[in-house]
Amino acid sequence: MDVACPRWLDFIHGGLQFQAVHHLFPRVPRHNLRRLQPLVRAFCKDIGIEYKILGFVDGNKEVLGRLGEVAGQVEMLIKCQKFMAETGESGLH
């Protein structure tokens, strides 16, 4: 997912708004990421992969929502670990 922002904010974001492009091409200098984004978007469209670009607020909501999901998964793993430590039961038979 990328975050939509005007060109004049590129310096402030430091290239972090182009996460998808950066993770595909980590060695590309950040000042070239905006030029590379349309090429990656076209490629994704050709092969049927969703390329998300959200605004700052919606992007943060998406990230925080995912972090909440991951936290729930960690809580479940901790409960399983405690159960196995207390009972000696691994569930592997």
Torsion of CA 67, 45, 31, 61, to 10 degrees: -20
Q: How far apart are CA 35 and CA 20, in angstroms?
A: 13
Q: 48 in the Ramachandran plot: left (φ > 0), alpha (ψ -120 to 50) or beta?
A: left
Q: Check residue 93 and give its pLDDT.
A: 62
Residue tagged 């590309």 (tokens): 28
Beta partners for 3?
54
Q: How far apart are CA 24 and CA 19, in angstroms?
A: 9
Ordered per-residue pLDDT tens for the chain, 93 residues: 898 988 888 888 888 899 999 999 999 998 899 999 999 999 999 999 999 999 988 988 988 888 999 999 999 999 999 999 999 887 776
Q: Check residue 89 and give its pLDDT.
A: 83
